């Protein structure tokens, strides 16, 4: 069963719906989390080491395969700091990696300020909402859980519908689709979920990586505008028709009031998008 809808609204997750996800990667916070999880004790004692030897070299694999963040951290730490193996259930590396990822996902929830808007959108039969993210496999379940807590029905974009439509929200994760948002295949997978007569009116709300932490290779300044241009071009190519984007960029150290103003701006833009022809 495919969705039938007049308009499509796409929200990026990390850096847009979830501003705590990038905050988790701030150097002082990351160092604290390495200690809490036990990764620091195992040898991962600086944020630079975490980014340069664990995350950045494995990002392509981690964000386009089912490998999972836990297993990737465990593997990379094991390679960096070889030690006598322990039984799998008692493996201190796996335990530390699991604690780190669990805390990361827990602290990557959606900002409470988005709740009224998303709840309102979930009740509009005329709009399909997609939460689109370049992320690890574990993020799909976490996002679905966060939406469920707000009483917003949602399913992964890869999951077939059975019976009545469960709601207009779809969760599209690159790890499930095998491709990033800069890849045509990502958007084709979403397009294939929509009814053939979908008019091709699309609104994208995204920070394009601008709100990520500087240590993250994904947040390179030179990549942000290129990513924005390519993503919008792909949407136009795949969906056709009218494609608009809103660059949800927050300045360094944005205070709560500026964040709230930005979210209000998004609400107004969505209102005009839905009210328009």
| Residues 182 and 259 reside in one and the same domain | yes
- Residue 225 within a domain: yes
84 Cβ contact partners less than 8 Å away, ≥ 6 residues apart: none
- For residue 265, what are the domain limits? 7-19+111-275
| Residues 37 and 13 reside in one and the same domain | no
| Residues 86 and 54 reside in one and the same domain | yes
| Residues 123 and 254 reside in one and the same domain | yes
Tell me, what's the pLDDT at 195? Answer: 65
| Residues 102 and 118 reside in one and the same domain | no
- Residue 1 within a domain: no
274 Cβ contact partners less than 8 Å away, ≥ 6 residues apart: 7, 124, 126, 127
Tell me, what's the pLDDT at 80? Answer: 92
| Residues 138 and 97 reside in one and the same domain | no
- Select from 106, 127, 156 the last residue of a domain: 106
| Residues 158 and 228 reside in one and the same domain | yes
| Residues 100 and 61 reside in one and the same domain | yes
- Residue 230 within a domain: yes
- Select from 84, 106, 128 the last residue of a domain: 106
In terms of C-beta density within 10 A (0-12 exposed, 13-18 middle, 19 or more buried), how is residue 45 classed? middle
Per-residue pLDDT of 4-51, as tens digits, reads 447 899 999 998 999 888 889 889 999 999 999 999 999 999 999 999
Strands 202-206 and 7-12: parallel
| Residues 218 and 119 reside in one and the same domain | yes
Tell me, what's the pLDDT at 163? Answer: 40
- Residue 51 within a domain: yes
- Residue 2 within a domain: no
- In whole angstroms, what is the distance from residue 50 CA to residue 194 CA? 40
- Residue 83 within a domain: yes
Count up the domains in the chain and report the number. 2
Domain at 13, CATH number = 3.40.50.1000
Tell me, what's the pLDDT at 240? Answer: 83
| Residues 116 and 190 reside in one and the same domain | yes
| Residues 177 and 223 reside in one and the same domain | yes
Tell me, what's the pLDDT at 250? Answer: 83
| Residues 122 and 96 reside in one and the same domain | no
Mean pLDDT in consecutive groups of 10 residues from the start of the chain, 277 residues = 66 93 90 97 95 95 97 94 62 93 96 94 88 96 97 87 59 97 93 70 92 57 83 92 90 71 94 90
- Residue 208 within a domain: yes
Tell me, what's the pLDDT at 162? Answer: 43
- Select from 106, 131, 164 the last residue of a domain: 106
- Residue 269 within a domain: yes
């Amino acid at each position: 069963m495919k969705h039938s809808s007049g308009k499509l609204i796409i929200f990026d997750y990390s850096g847009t719906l979830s501003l705590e996800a990038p905050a988790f990667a701030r150097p002082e916070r990351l160092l604290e989390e390495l200690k809490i999880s036990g990764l620091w004790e195992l040898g991962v004692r600086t944020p630079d080491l975490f980014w340069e030897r664990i995350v950045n070299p494995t990002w392509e694999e981690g964000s386009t395969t089912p490998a999972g963040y836990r297993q990737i951290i465990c593997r990379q730490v094991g390679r960096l700091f070889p030690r006598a193996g322990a039984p799998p259930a008692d493996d201190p590396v796996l335990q530390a990696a699991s604690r780190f990822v669990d805390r990361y996902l827990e602290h990557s929830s959606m900002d409470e300020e988005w709740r009224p808007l998303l709840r309102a959108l979930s009740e509009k039969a005329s709009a399909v909402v997609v939460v689109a993210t370049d992320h690890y496999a574990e993020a799909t379940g976490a996002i679905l859980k966060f939406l469920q807590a707000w009483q917003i029905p949602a399913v992964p974009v890869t999951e077939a519908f059975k019976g009545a439509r469960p709601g207009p929200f779809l969760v599209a994760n690159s790890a499930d689709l095998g491709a990033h948002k800069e890849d045509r295949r990502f958007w084709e997978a979403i397009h294939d979920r929509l009814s053939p007569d979908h008019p091709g009116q699309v609104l994208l709300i995204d920070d394009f990586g601008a709100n990520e932490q500087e240590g993250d290779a994904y947040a390179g300044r030179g990549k942000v505008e290129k990513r924005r241009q390519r993503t919008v071009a792909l949407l136009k190519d795949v969906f056709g028709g009218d494609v608009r984007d809103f660059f949800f960029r927050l300045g360094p150290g944005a205070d709560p009031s500026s964040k709230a103003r930005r979210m209000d701006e998004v609400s107004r833009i969505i209102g005009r998008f839905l009210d328009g022809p």
